[in-house]
Amino acid sequence: MAPDGPPITRPISCKQCGATPAASVQIRSHLGLLLWMRCKAVDGPFCSHCGIALIRVMTTKTLWQGWWGPLSLLATLFALHSNLDAYRDLRRLPRSAPPSARARSGMGKPVHRRPPAYVALIPLCCAIWLLTSLIGSAS
């Protein structure tokens, strides 16, 4: 017999550590190769700790591996923007502890403290050089 009354809603818990609260976010990475590309998406829910740790890893990979294909520019920008949205959602969650003695790994360094992330400056500098060359040759 089904109970009467409003349905019981439970807060969603992190799929990695079980902590609550968690947010349903999707975290992406992109690998651009000369002739093909590979997009990866990991669905939550994640607590702020586990989600931000995963965002740091996948965003750093995207920053140094995402640009190396002719069609990868848009896919890389999409992955980075999507991860920024997920990061904002996770930052709004209060800090939480895992519900039991489950151990969580550390969050790792922020993206700006990971040297591979700065590989993204190479295609950015090339794009700036190309644009300034086009503007210079047009005038």
Which residues here bind Zn ion, judged by CB under 5 A? Answer: 14, 16-17, 19, 47, 50
Smallest separation, CB 89 to Zn ion (Å): 14
What Rg do the C-alpha atoms of the chain give, in angstroms? Answer: 20
DSSP states of 63-114 as a string?
HHHTTSSTTHHHHHHHHHHHHHHHHHHHHTSPP---SSS---------GGG-
Smallest separation, CB 130 to Zn ion (Å): 42
Residue whose CB is less far from Zn ion, 20 or 78: 20
Residue whose CB is less far from Zn ion, 17 or 37: 17
Cis peptide before 3 (omega within 30 of 0): no
Which tokens belong to 90?
A: 């996770």
Residue whose CB is less far from Zn ion, 63 or 86: 86
Residue whose CB is less far from Zn ion, 24 or 132: 24
**Residue 1: C-alpha distances to residues 4, 8, 9, 38 (Å):** 9, 15, 19, 49
Smallest separation, CB 104 to Zn ion (Å): 6
Smallest separation, CB 96 to Zn ion (Å): 8
